[in-house]
């Protein structure tokens, strides 16, 4: 099985709510749709990527800390042991 690593840039584009990320969000959504059709691929990430995503969403994208915490908590649970299965929300 092939593993596809999702770095913080992918996570930020997927979860950011500001207008400046709309084009990137669409690209990521399209990529995730393609990945979901693959039978021999597993999406994965690291806690470093999740931590960086949280930092950027709060500090640069000015998202509400509570909203980011709702994203971060299940992401952390799914990331252990450093992999996402069915990471499409």
Handedness of CA 7, 11, 14, 17 (dihedral sign): negative
Q: Is residue 12 part of a domain?
A: yes
Q: How many domains does the chain have?
A: 1
At residue 74, the pLDDT reads 67
Element of type H or E holding 4: strand 2-5
Decide if 41 contacts 50 (C-beta within 8 A).
no
Q: Is residue 84 part of a domain?
A: no
- Under the banding of pLDDT at 50, 70 and 90, the label for residue 85 is very low
Q: Is residue 40 part of a domain?
A: yes
Q: Which residue has the higher pLDDT, 1 or 30?
A: 30
Give per-residue pLDDT as tens, 45-84.
999 999 999 999 999 999 999 999 888 876 655 554 444 4
pTM (predicted TM-score): 0.78
Q: Is residue 88 part of a domain?
A: no
Domain that holds residue 34: 2-79
């Amino acid at each position: 099985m092939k593993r596809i690593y999702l770095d913080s840039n992918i996570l930020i584009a997927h979860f950011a709510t500001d207008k400046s990320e709309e084009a990137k969000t669409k690209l990521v959504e399209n990529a995730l749709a393609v990945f979901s059709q693959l039978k021999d691929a597993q999406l994965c990430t690291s806690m470093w990527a999740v931590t960086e995503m949280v930092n950027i969403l709060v500090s640069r994208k000015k998202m509400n800390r509570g909203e980011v915490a709702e994203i971060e908590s299940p992401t952390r649970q799914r990331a252990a042991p450093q992999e996402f299965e069915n990471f499409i929300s």
